[in-house]
Amino acid sequence: MDHMTEQVALVTGGAKGIGRGIALDLASRGWNIVFCYRTSEAEAKTTAQDITQRGGRALALQCDVSDPVAAKRMVTQVEKDWGRIDVLINGAGPYHRVNLFDETAEGWNEMFDGNLHPIFYLAHAVAPGMKSRKAGRIISFSMANADQMEAQPDVTAHYIAKAGVLILTRTLAKLLAPYGITVNAISPGFIDSGSAPPHELAAMTKRIPAGYIGTVDDTVAAVRYLLSEDARYVNGANIQVSGGWGI
């Protein structure tokens, strides 16, 4: 996308992990970054400082994007204060492992409220501005085997939510393509993003055809491509970043 110095990206879950990596990469290329977090206040302060050091403007907002009113209010605030949102990166998303018959109603709902519903809320909120400018990018995160629709006894709700992300991504792409907006998904496999213990990741290595764990930079590279003019005609896609796992 042109005029990088004027571009504003909104990154949910941007205080740490993959969201932080995306925010820092965009900042180093002249983007202005608004990112939100739910509970990671200390990490958010550090990330905001690191964005500024890379030359971008930074705004960290505490927001639970699973709350539709809060999500809408955040977008309204950003557009009022910064004038626009050119890119939405849906990076927030809780995860837990629990057998389906040990799952609680609260835990079940949390997976959908955190991983799927915010994409719907935020797309509703950012679409009018993107439509008016005839440009925009939306990127969401699924998981590398979500399109396989396999039985998932220990991550059932999370997996269904991530499959839903793919359907929602394709639907948004079809609806928004006439306005010059692209909507795509990235599906990571095992990525060393700080959310899983190193010994767990090491145990998974033998299941990855490439033979090693991915890095945050591997995921950031896919985001960089989808935000570039090279990807202007890529819409409704799902990019696997998994070293061949989950396919």
As annotated, the active-site residues are 159
Structure tokens at 37: 């977090």
140, 90 in Cβ contact below 8 A? yes
Q: How far is CA 239 from the centre of its chain?
A: 13
Q: How many CA atoms lie within 13 A of 124 on its CB side?
A: 13
Query: Which of 87, 82, 33, 85 lies closest to 56, judged by CA?
Result: 33
Report the sign of the C-alpha dihedral through residues 27, 126, 227, 147, in that order.
positive
Any idea how long the chain is?
247
Query: Burial code of 137-163, b = ≥16 C-beta within 10 A, e = fewer?
Result: bbbbbbbbbbbeeeebeebbbbbbbbb
84, 132 in Cβ contact below 8 A? no
What's the rounded Cα separation, in Å, for the pair 91 and 143? 12
